[in-house]
Amino acid sequence: MQSQTAQSVSVLGSTGSIGVSTLDVLARHPQRYAVHALTARGRIAELAQQCRRFKPRFAVVATEKGAVELRQLLADEASSVEILWGSEGLCQVASDPQVDVVMAAIVGAAGLRPTLAAVEAGKKVLLANKEALVMAGPVFMRALARSGARLLPIDSEHNAIFQCLPQPCASLEEAGVEKILLTGSGGPFRTRAVSDLHRVTPDEACAHPNWSMGRKISVDSATMMNKGLEFIEACLLFNARPEQIEVVVHPQSIVHSMVQYRDGSLLAQMGNPDMRTPIAHALAFPERIDSGVAALDLIAQGRLDFEAPDIQRFPCLRLAREAMDAGGSAPAVLNAANEVAVEAFLEGKLAFTSIPAVIEQVMKSAQVVELTGLDAVETADCNARLQARQVLEAL
C-alpha cells in the first residue's frame, strides 16, 4: 500500500479466538496497521504479552482489579500503555477520534455498547460480535445509517455473502438476487444419535469438527443456534426477507455461503476454514492482502457435500426464525435466553437438549415490544436473563 500513515485499529476482545487471529493478520502488515487499543476481560497475563508485542496506546480490562494486575505485569517495561477499565473504557477506545478501524470481537451482549459506540462514531467497524447486531437489530441499523459508518462482516458466512454480492449493493432486488444460501457445518452432533444428545458434555460440544473458536460460539454451533443468529444477522446486514435466506448444511466448511441470482448463477466463496481470511478481507477491503491462510487445495479436498438441516434435531433454528418473524425485542430475548442457557450448560448445570427448551419457554413468556433505542434493548435483554434464570431454577 502507498499510504504514508498506518491505520489505527482498536481490537475489542483481543485475547479471544477472533482477537488473536486479528493480531496475527495485523502483525503481517506493520506498515499498514498500528494497534491503538487491546481489550480483554480475563487472561490478563496474555493481554500483557500482547501489549508488549503490539505497543498499543490503550489497554482496557473489565475491572479495576484487572487494571491493577495489568499495571503490575507491565511495571518493568518502559511501557507507555494507558490502562482503562469497564464499559466506559471500551466505548472510549471504540470511538476515539484517532481510531480508524474497530474490530468488534467481544463475545455476547457485553459487546453491544462499545460496538454501537464505534458505529455512532462513524468508524470502519469489523463485526464479529453478531450478538450485538442480533439483539439491537433496528437500533443498530439506524445508528449505522445516521453515522455513515462502514460495517464489514467478519462472520465467515456473511463475509462470503458480501463477497458474492456486487459492491455497493443497494438492494438484493436490483442486484438480481433471488436467494442467499447460508451454509453451516452442522457442528459436532450432526450425525450423533438424537437419543444420546441429552448427555453430551461441554468438551464434546466445544470440539468443533472444522473451526477452533471460543466456547460460547462452539456450543452455539453444536445447537445450531449459531446458524439461527446468523440467519437474523443476514436479514439485517443484507436487508433480506426471511424467506430469501435458506440454511444449507455443508459439513466440510469449505463453501462459506452462496448467493443465487435470477439468471441461474450461484456464486460461492470458498476457502480453508480459517477466520484470518474474512479478517484480512474486511481489514483491507477493497484491496486484498496476505492473511497467512494457505490456498485451498480442491483436489486434496476431493468432495463437497450439501444437505438440508434437520429441524427436529436442531430446534434452535426454528426458534431463531420465530424470533425474526415476531420482530421488535424478540431477537434480543432469544439471544439473552441463549446466553444464559449456554453458560449454564458450560457450567454443567443444564443438559444440552434443555438449551432450546429454556429459550423457548423464555420466548413464550416475554412480551414483544418495539425497540425504540438502546434502553429498550437493554431492558429486553435484562428481563429475558432474569426470566431464563427462573426457568433454570425451576428445572
C-beta separation of 233 from 161 below 8 A? no
Nearer to ligand NAD, 277 or 387 (CB): 277
Residue nearest ligand NAD, Cβ-based: 16
Nearer CB in complex with ligand NAD: 40/380: 40
Binding mask 134-163 for ligand NAD (x = CB under 6 A): ---------------------x--------
- According to CB under 6 A, which one of 36, 113, 123, 130 is a site residue for ligand NAD? 130
DSSP string, 311-326: TTT-HHHHHHHHHHHH
CA dist 31 and 3 (Å) reads: 9
Which one among 103, 106, 161, 280 touches ligand NAD, defined by CB under 6 A?
106
Closest residue by Cα to residue 118 from 135, 140, 98, 95: 95
* Contact track, Mg ion, 111-130, x by CB under 5 A: --------------------
Task: Work out what residue 338 binds among ligand NAD, Mg ion, none; the CB cut-off runs from 5 to 8 Å by kind.
Answer: none
Which among 132-140, 149-157, 195-203, 251-259 is the span making contact with Mg ion, rule CB under 5 A? Answer: 149-157
Where does this chain touch ligand NAD (CB under 6 A) — which range of 34-42, 292-300, 312-320, 343-351?
A: 34-42
Which is nearest to 60 in space by CA: 36, 33, 79?
A: 36
Q: Does 66 bind ligand NAD (CB under 6 A)?
A: no
Work out what residue 150 binds among Mg ion, ligand NAD, none; the CB cut-off runs from 5 to 8 Å by kind: none
Identify the residue among 51, 70, 126, 128 touching ligand NAD (CB under 6 A). 128
Interface with ligand NAD, residue 107, by CB under 6 A: yes
Query: Which of 275, 249, 245 is closest to 259 using CA atoms?
Result: 245
Query: Is 17 among the residues that bind ligand NAD (CB under 6 A)?
Result: yes
Would you state the torsion angle of the CA atoms of residues 374, 322, 384, 125, taken in this order, to the nearest 10 degrees?
-40
CA distance 22 to 372: 33
Say which DSSP state 307 is in. Answer: B
Query: Considering the rule CB under 6 A, would residue 223 count as an interface residue with ligand NAD?
Result: no
| Strand bridging mode 124-127 / 150-153 | parallel
Query: CA–CA separation, 105 vs 114, rounded Å?
Result: 10
Stretch that binds ligand NAD, among 12-20, 26-34, 48-56, 162-170 (CB under 6 A): 12-20
Give dist(CA 115, CA 121) in Å, integer: 10
Residue 155 as a binder of Mg ion (CB under 5 A): the answer is yes
Residue closer to Mg ion (CB basis): 8 or 17: 17
Half-sphere exposure of 317 (CA within 13 A, CB side): 20
Which amino acid, residue 356? P
Distance CA 304, CA 108 (A): 32
Q: Give the residue with the Cβ less far from ligand NAD, 217 or 350.
A: 217
Beta bridge partners of 303: none
Least distance between Mg ion and beta carbon 65 (Å): 33
Q: Identify the CA nearest to 115 among candidates 63, 27, 39.
A: 39
Total site size for ligand NAD, rule CB under 6 A: 26
- The minimum distance between CB 274 and ligand NAD, in angstroms, equals 9
H helix runs in 207-252, sequence order: 215-223, 225-237
- Binding ligand NAD (rule: CB under 6 A), the pick from 7, 9, 10, 16 is 16
User: Minimum Å distance from CB 13 to ligand NAD?
Assistant: 3
Q: How many CB atoms lie within 10 A of CB 123?
A: 25
Residue ranges in contact with ligand NAD by CB under 6 A: 13-19, 40-42, 62, 105-107, 110, 128-131, 155, 211, 213-214, 216-217, 275
Residue ranges in contact with Mg ion by CB under 5 A: 155-157
